[in-house]
Structure 1
Amino acid sequence: MANAMNSYKNAITKESIFTALMIIMEKKDFHKISVTEVTAKAGVSRMAFYRNYEVLEDVITDYLNDCFAEYEKAIERVGLYNSYEVVLLFFSTFKAEKTLLLNLIESKLTYLLLDKCNTFLEDICKTIVCDKSYSPEKEKYTIKFLTGGFFNILIEWIMNDFNESEEYMAELFYEYCK
C-alpha cells in the first residue's frame, strides 16, 4: 500500500512540475527558466525535481513519453493494421496537447517531439509499408519519409491553429500511406 501511495505522490509531483513549466513557458523563454522557478510554481522541492529529472528538457520528454503511451493504447484498441484510424488517432492525440506543442515551437524545442516521433512512429510506419513489395533499402527510406511526414504535417497543422479537422488531416496523410 505504501508503494502505491508513493507512486501516486510521485505522479502528482511530476504533473505539477510539467504544468508549472508549461505555464512559465507561455510567458518566458525556455532557456531562461530555472529549476527553482519551476519548483516554486509547482509547489515542490528542488529535491523532488531532481529525484525525477536531470534537466528541464526531461520534463517535456517524460510527458511526451506519456502522450505516445496513450497513443499506443488507443492504437491497440483499433488495431495497428487499420491505417486510417492509426493516423486519425495521431492527430486527435496531439490536438489535445496544443499548449505543449505551441510551447515547443515557440521555444525551438520541436526536436524533442521529432526524436519521439522517430522512435515511436518508425514501427507504425513499418507496419503501414510492410505489405508493399519494397526492397529493404526502399522500405527504410519510405519509413523515414512517413515518420518525418507525421512530424512535419503535425507542426504545420499546429502553426495553422488546427484549422483543418483531424479527419481531414488523417485523410490527407493516409493518401501517402496507400
Structure 2
Amino acid sequence: MAATQHAQQLKNDSQTYLTTALFQLLATKELQQITVTELVKRAGVSRMAFYRNYQTLDDLLLAYFEPQMTRLFDLIMRPVPTNVKMDQLATYFDQFSAMLTLATKRHYEYLIQQLFNENMARYYQNQVTQLHLSAQQAQYWTTFMSNGVYGIWRTWLLNRDSATLTEIHDLLALFQNATAQALGSATSSDNGFGPFTKKDHSNE
C-alpha cells in the first residue's frame, strides 16, 4: 500500500511540475513553439515522466482545464438561489478571465472551447427530452447553443465592457428560451430552460 501511495505521489508531483513549467514557458512563447524536451528540462523531470502522464502538450492542458470547466458547469447546474449562483460564477470568472486571455494570446483557446462544448453536450443530454426534439434537432440545437453561449462568454470575459454578469446571464436566458420555442418546444420564456434562466425555482 505504501509503495502504491508513493508511486501516486510521484505521479502527482510530476504532473504539478510539468503544468507549472508549461505555464512559465507560455508566459513568453506560443504553445506550438514549446517542445517536450524544453518542458521537461524546465520542470526538472524526465521525458519518461512526461510520457507516463501525457502524449502531447495539448493533453497536459486538457488535463489542467478539464476539472475547471467541469466546476463551471457544476456551478451553473447546481439548484441554488440565483443570487448565490451569481456570486459563485463571478468568483469563477474573475479567476478564469486571465486564463482565457493567455489561451487566446498563445493560441490554445481551442482546447478550452473543446471542453466547454463537451460540458454543454453533457448538460443538454439531460435536458433535451423537455424540448421533444428529434435526435437530429437535439444534436444541432446543442451545437448551436454551445457555440453561441461560448461566443458570448468569450466576448464578455475578454472585453469586460459595461455589461454586468447578471445582464449577460439574462441575455443568454433570452436567446436560449427563444430558440427552444422556435423549435416548437413546450418551454416558455416565463419558466425558463437550461443552465441560464431568469426565474429562480430553487425555493419552490
TM interval, short-chain normalised = 0.7 to 0.9
Q: Which residue of 1 aligns with 2:122?
A: 123
- State which structure, 1 or 2, has the greater radius of gyration over its C-alpha atoms: 2
Q: Which residue of 1 aligns with 2:152?
A: 153
- Superposition pairs of residues 3-152 of structure 1, within 5 angstroms: 3-71=4-72, 73-74=74-75, 79=78, 93=92, 95-152=94-151
C-alpha deviation, 1:35, in angstroms: 1.4
Once residues 157 and 49 of structure 1 are traced to their aligned partners in structure 2, the CA distance between those partners, rounded to angstroms, is 35
List per-residue Cα deviations over 1:104-135 (Å, max 9, x = no partner).
21122222122222222112134455423445
Distance 1:144 1:95, change over 3 A: farther
Q: Report the count of equivalent residues.
A: 176
C-alpha deviation, 1:172, in angstroms: 2.6
What secondary structure, in the 3-state scheme, does the structure 1 residue paired with 2:140 have? helix
Higher helix proportion, which one? 1
Distance 1:46 1:32, change over 3 A: same
C-alpha deviation, 1:147, in angstroms: 0.8
One-letter code aligned to 1:157 = W
One-letter code aligned to 1:141 = Y
Once residues 16 and 161 of structure 2 are traced to their aligned partners in structure 1, the CA distance between those partners, rounded to angstroms, is 25
Q: Gapped runs of 5+ residues in structure 1?
A: none
Distance 1:85 1:29, change over 3 A: same
C-alpha deviation, 1:16, in angstroms: 2.0
Compare 119-128 and 50-59 and name the one that shifted more.
119-128
Compare 90-99 and 154-163 and name the one that shifted more.
90-99
C-alpha deviation, 1:26, in angstroms: 1.6
Whether contact under 8 Å (1:61, 1:112) holds in the other structure is: yes
Once residues 18 and 31 of structure 2 are traced to their aligned partners in structure 1, the CA distance between those partners, rounded to angstroms, is 14
Once residues 35 and 17 of structure 1 are traced to their aligned partners in structure 2, the CA distance between those partners, rounded to angstroms, is 10
